[in-house]
Structure 1
Amino acid sequence: MHTPLRLLGAAAIATLVVAAGSACSSSSENDSAAVQLPAAPAEQQLAGRCPATVVVQLQWDPETDSGPIFGLLGPGYHVDSDNNKVTGPLVVDGKDTGVKLEIRAGGPAIGFQTVPSQMYVDSSITLGLDHSEDAIAASGKQPITAVTTLLRSSPQMLMWDPTTHPDWHGIADIGKAGAPVVVSQGQLYPEWLVSRGLLNAKQIDASYDNGPSRFVSDPSFAQQGFANSEPYVYEHEVKAWDKPVGYQLLRDVGYEGYARTVNVRTDKLNELRPCLQRLVPMIQRATAQFRTDPSHVNDVVVDVVSKSANLTPYSAALAAYGSKTLIDSGLIGNDTDGVLGSFDEARVQRVIDQFAPILRHGGANVPAGLTAKDLVDKEFLDHTITAG
C-alpha cells in the first residue's frame, strides 16, 4: 500500500527492475543464518491444522507497519528476489510451529492489483493484509473476512510544506485554501474527505507518480503520505528536500478505517478455522511483542529488503522511525474491548455506512445490507492478549 517505491520516479523504478533482472545473488547470500530451532509445545503446533506453508500477501513492500508478521519469521529464511517473497519457519517465541511462513510483497510486485483480487486469483494465499474500505469495495465479488488487525488506526495522512503554508495546521486548512491535493489513482479516502466537507472535489488530483520530484520543485500543493514513512524520508533521505514536512493523520479528522487487517477469503473461513484458532493468537502476541520492543522486527525487515534487488532500499533508520511512530502515535493498541488486534464492530459499521455510498457511486458492487459481521470475525481472538 505504500512507501518506498512511492518515492521513486519512473526512471528510478525502471532502473530497479533492470537491476533485479541482472542480479546474480547466490542462494546462500539470500539466506539468513540457519539455526536449529526447538519445537513449539503441542498446543502451538500448526502442522496438520494450517497449510504446510502459510502464505501472507502484503499490500506493499516489506515495511515495519507489517511488523508482527515478520516477527513470526524464524531464522534460516530465504529471500526469493525473483518472486518477491521470503520463506522461513513460522515461529512463536523462537520455537518452530511445524509449518513454513511465506511473506509476499504487494504493490508493484503484483502489478498493483488489490489484495482481495490477488487472493482470489491465487488460492495458495492464506492471509492477506488490507484496509477496511478495500474490503468493502471487494465485498460483492471477492469477499474477505478480517480475523485480527496489526494496526488499530491508519497511518495515512496528508502532508504539506510548512514554510510555503505557515497557515496550514491540518486538513481542514488545505480544504479552505482550495489547493490541489495530489494522491495516487485508486485511493478511496479522498472522496471520503470530500463527503465530510473537508475538501472540495475539484482539489483532488489523482496523478501522484510515486516520486518526490514534483513536491520538491513546487510545494504549493498537499500530498498523500504515511506518518511512519514520508516525514522521515523527506527530511533525511530526499536530499533535494532535506527538511521537515507538516502533516495530519486522517484518523485525526474522523477517519475510522482499520489498517493492516489480517484477512482470509470468506469462502475459506470454515476450512481454515482449525488453523486460525492457533495462528490468530500468535499474531496477536507478535503484535504485543513488536509494540513492546520492535528492534528485532526492524532488523528482520531491513535484512529481508537488503537481500532483494526488486525491493526499494529500506534503511535501518527509517525502520526504527516507522516503528516508533506507529507505537508512539497510538496506531497499535487495544481496541474498545481492551483486546489487542480486536475490532469495534460499531466502528466497522460506521466505516461501511460512510464508504458504501461512495463506492457504489464509483461503480463498485457493494451488497445492500452489508454489516460489520460480514467483514470481521472476532471468534479467533485471544481476549487475554493486551497491549499492557
Structure 2
Amino acid sequence: MGRFRRGAAVAFGTALALTLAACSGDSDGGSAAQSTRERATDAAPAVASGGALDLTGACPATVVVQTDWFAESEYGFLYNLIGPDAKIDTGKKRITGSLVSGGKDTGVNIEVRFGGPAIGYEQVSAQMYVDKSINLGIVSTDESIQNSVSQPTKAVFAPFEVSPGMIMWDKSKHPNFTTLVDIGQTDTKVLYYETDAYMQYLLGAGILRQGQVDGSYDGAPARWVAEDGKIAQAGFATSEPYIYKNELGDGHSYDVGLQLINDTGYPLYGQALSVRAGDEAKLAGCLKKLVPIVQRSQVDFLAHPQTANALIIKAVKADAASVWNYSPGLAAYAVQTMKNRALVSNGSNATIGDMEQSRINRMIQILTPIYAGQKKPVKSGLTPANLFTNQYIDTSIGLK
C-alpha cells in the first residue's frame, strides 16, 4: 500500500503490454551479478582496503535492492551507487554494477531491480519473502505495518523526509481548491487506487466523503483526459504534475494544484530502504557501513544528479518492449521538486535519512483500526521499534 502506484507516463499502455514487458525483452548479456567485476574495463578506482568504505567481507558480494517501480529519479540515490561499469539487463529488469561511493569502488556489486510490472505488481515486502536473494527493499511505513504479522520488515534509511504522494486537481477547473478539505466540500470525484490505506484515513478524518471517492484508478490518464480535468486524482508530486502539463500529447495540457497526503496528517515515510526484520542481525555488519554510504549517495545525487539520471533514462530507453517512458525533462523536474518541496531534507535535525519514532507511532495509531476493519490485523503489540531503526545512520551526514 505504501506506494502511490504510478502509471501516468505509461499513458495509454494496456495491462497486457505491461505484462509482456515484464516477461519479455532480451538481456544484453549473461549474469551481471556474476560477471561485472571480472570483465569490467571501465570500473571505478578501489577504495582504501579495510577502510570505512570497503564493503568487502562485510556485505554480500552483490547487494540486491528491490524497488517498487521502473527506473526513475525518485530512487536516484540507488542508481547513483552504481559505477561506470553498469550493466542494464532488460530481460531480468535490473541494473548491476560495482557499488561505488564518491566515485570509488567499495569492493562489492549492487543490483537494483525494477518493481511494478516486473514483479507482477506485488508489494516489495511480499517479494522480499518470495525471493530471499533480495537484501533490501523499498517499503513504505503503511505497507510495513500492514504486513507486520507475516512479512515483517524494518526500515534502515528514509530517502524521503516527506512522501511525494499527493492528490491533484486542475487549477483552471477548480480555481478555489487549495487543500483536500476544499475538495471534500464539493462533489468532485477523486480517483485513487482502492488498496491505498491513506484513503480510509482521509474518509475517517472527514476530509473527503465516501460518495465522492473512486478506487478504480489504474494509473493511466484516460479518465482525467476524458473528463478534461474536472476530477481530482492521486499521484506523485515528483511526476504527474510535469507529465500532465508537458507529456500527455494530442494537445492536452493541465496546470495542476495539489496537496501532499503527508500534509493532511498522514506522516508515513515513503519508500524507506528496509530489510526483512529477521535478517537485521545477520546484515548488521553490512548495514553499519552501507547505510552511511547510502546517505552520502542521496546527498551527492541531490547536488549532482546528472550521472544517475542519465543511467535511469538510458535504462528506460534500452527496454524497447516496455511502455514506460522517462524523459530528461521529467528527471530534472523530479529532482527539482524534491528540493523545492523539501521532500528530501534533513528534517528537524542536521541528518539525512533518519526517522522519528513519533511519526511511526502515529502511523500505527492511524492504521491499526483501519487494517482491523479490513480483517487484516497488524502484529499484536506492534511498536515503532519493530518497524524502523536509526542504529546504522551516521548523524554527521546531511544536506548542507
- Partner residue, 1:260: 271
Give the drift of 1:78: 1.1
Contact 1:146 1:376 survives alignment (8 Å) = yes
1:345 matched to 2:357? The reply is yes
Pairing of 1:110-259 with structure 2 (within 5 A): 110-218=119-227, 219-240=229-250, 241-259=252-270
> CA RMSD of the aligned region, Å?
2.1
Contact 1:3 1:230 survives alignment (8 Å) = no
Pairing of 1:96-115 with structure 2 (within 5 A): 96-115=105-124
Q: 2:385 aligns with which of 360, 373, 377?
A: 373
Where does structure 1 lack aligned partners over 5 or more consecutive residues? none
Q: TM-score, normalised by structure 1?
A: 0.94
SS at match of 2:245: helix
Q: Which amino acid aligns with 2:237?
A: A
Q: TM-score, normalised by structure 2?
A: 0.91
SS at match of 2:176: coil
SS at match of 2:258: strand
Give the drift of 1:20: 7.5
CA distance in 2, matches of 1:18, 1:134: 27
Give the drift of 1:18: 5.2
Contact 1:129 1:261 survives alignment (8 Å) = yes
Give the drift of 1:296: 2.3
- Partner residue, 1:74: 83
Counterparts in 2 of 1:347 and 1:230: CA distance versus 1, 3 Å: same
- Partner residue, 1:320: 332
Where does structure 2 lack aligned partners over 5 or more consecutive residues? none
CA distance in 1, matches of 2:333, 2:15: 24
CA distance in 1, matches of 2:6, 2:364: 30
Stretches (4+) displaced over 3 A: 1-28
- Partner residue, 1:40: 47
SS at match of 2:151: coil
CA distance in 1, matches of 2:139, 2:293: 19
SS at match of 1:374: helix
Q: 1:335 aligns with which of 326, 330, 347?
A: 347
- Partner residue, 1:293: 304
CA distance in 2, matches of 1:9, 1:293: 29
Q: 2:10 aligns with which of 8, 11, 14?
A: 8
1:278 matched to 2:285? The reply is no
CA deviation string 1:208-262 (max 9, x = no partner) = 1221111011133211011100010011000242231221111222221111211
SS at match of 2:109: strand
CA distance in 2, matches of 1:193, 1:4: 20
CA distance in 2, matches of 1:270, 1:24: 38
Q: Percent identity?
A: 36
Contact 1:348 1:372 survives alignment (8 Å) = yes
CA deviation string 1:20-75 (max 9, x = no partner) = 877557449x99x9513211122211121111110000011111111111110111
Contact 1:157 1:247 survives alignment (8 Å) = yes
- Partner residue, 2:65: 56
* Alignment coverage as a number of residue pairs: 386
SS at match of 1:259: coil
Counterparts in 2 of 1:22 and 1:126: CA distance versus 1, 3 Å: closer
Contact 1:139 1:365 survives alignment (8 Å) = no
1:360 matched to 2:367? The reply is no
SS at match of 2:45: coil
SS at match of 2:63: strand
CA distance in 2, matches of 1:167, 1:173: 8
Counterparts in 2 of 1:25 and 1:358: CA distance versus 1, 3 Å: closer
Counterparts in 2 of 1:361 and 1:375: CA distance versus 1, 3 Å: same
Counterparts in 2 of 1:374 and 1:37: CA distance versus 1, 3 Å: same
Counterparts in 2 of 1:238 and 1:272: CA distance versus 1, 3 Å: same
Give the drift of 1:13: 4.9
Contact 2:313 2:326 survives alignment (8 Å) = yes
